[in-house]
Structure 1
C-alpha cells in the first residue's frame, strides 16, 4: 500500500515538473530527430506528438539495458507501478549496494540513454543529489541519484505524457488522496 502511494506521488511530481515546462509548450517532447527504432516498438497511440514514441515495455527495456551495462542490478524491493498505470509509467530502482561506485554507474546509465535517442533536458544538482530529465517521443524520464555518507538511492521513473496517461495519473492521485 505504501509503495502504491509513493509511486502515485512520484507520478504527481513528474506531472508537475512536466506541466511547469522546461521543455517548451505545445510540441510536447518531439525530442529532435531521434529516429531510433528501439525494439521495434512504436508509439502507443501518441496524441501528444512524437511519432517515434516507445511504449512502456520498450522504455523499461532501454533503462534495464543501460543500467545493467553500467553495472547496476535492479533492486527487487523497488517501487511497483500500479496495474492501471503500467502502460503509462515505468519505475526502475538500482541496488546501489551491488555496484562499486553508484555515481559513476548513474552517469554511465544516463550517457547510454542519451546515446540511445533520449534527449537530455533540464537537470538539477544539490547537496549530493542529481536529477536529470531525459525525453523521447511522448516519454519523460527522471533519472535521480541521491547519495550521502553511507546512503545511496538511484532511480529511473519514466512517464508517458499523452493526454490519456495524464488523465490516468490524475485519477490515481485523486484515488490515493487522503481526506
Structure 2
C-alpha cells in the first residue's frame, strides 16, 4: 500500500511538470531534427512543430524499444491514458523492481532516445533522489523521470503532443474532471 501511495505521488509530480505549458511545451522542435520515428510514422508538418512529428503510437513504440533494451519491463498495473487523450499523450511506467539497476537502465533509455532523434530540452532536474529530464521531438515533449529512495524506485516516461489541437483536448479534459 505504501508503494502505491509513492507511485501516485510521483505520477502527480510528473504530470504536473509535464502539463501543457511545461518546459519544452512550446511544441518547437528544439533540436531542429526532422527525422522520422523508428517506425517511420509521422503526422506530417505542423504549425506548432515546424516539421515532421511522430504520432502517439510511434512515440510509445520508441519508448518501449529503448526501455526494454535497457532492461526494463512495463508495469501495466497503473492507470492508462484517458480514452479521449490517447492521440495526444503516452504514458509508459517501468516495473523498476525487475530491473537489475534502475538508475543505469533509466540513463540508458534516455541515451537511446536521445540517439533516436529526441533532443534534451535543458539540463533536467535532480533533487532528493529524483531525476526528471525533458526530451523533445517534433511537437512532442517527453518527461523521463526516475524517482528512487530506499526500498522503492519509480521510472516513468510521459509524452505529450503540444499541438493546439491536443492542448484544446487537455484543457477540455481538465474542465470535465474539475471537482465542483
Scaled to the shorter chain, the TM-score interval is 0.7 to 0.9
Aligned to 1:139: 140
Contact 1:11 1:159 (8 Å CA) reproduced: no
TM-score (norm. length: structure 2): 0.85
Alpha-carbon distance, 1:7 to partner: 7.7
Counterparts of 2:71 and 2:156 in 1: how far apart (Å)? 14
Counterparts of 1:80 and 1:45 in 2: how far apart (Å)? 28
For residues 2-151 of structure 1, the aligned pairs below 5 Å read 11=15, 13-15=17-19, 17-18=21-22, 22-23=23-24, 28-38=27-37, 39-43=39-43, 46-122=46-122, 123-151=124-152
Alpha-carbon distance, 1:12 to partner: 5.2
Aligned residues: 169
Contact 1:44 1:55 (8 Å CA) reproduced: no
SS at match of 2:18: helix
Counterparts of 1:163 and 1:113 in 2: how far apart (Å)? 25
Contact 1:59 1:90 (8 Å CA) reproduced: yes
Counterparts of 2:69 and 2:58 in 1: how far apart (Å)? 16
SS at match of 1:40: coil
RMSD: 2.3
TM-score (norm. length: structure 1): 0.86
Contact 2:146 2:155 (8 Å CA) reproduced: yes
SS at match of 2:90: strand
SS at match of 1:15: coil
Counterparts of 1:93 and 1:75 in 2: how far apart (Å)? 6
CA 1:138–1:24 in structure 2 vs 1: closer, same or farther (change >3 Å)?
Answer: closer
Counterparts of 1:175 and 1:24 in 2: how far apart (Å)? 22
Which 4+ stretches in 1 moved above 6 angstroms?
6-9
Counterparts of 1:153 and 1:62 in 2: how far apart (Å)? 19
Aligned to 1:155: 156
For structure 1, the residue ranges without an aligned partner over 5 or more in a row are: 1-5
Counterparts of 2:127 and 2:106 in 1: how far apart (Å)? 16
Counterparts of 2:73 and 2:63 in 1: how far apart (Å)? 11
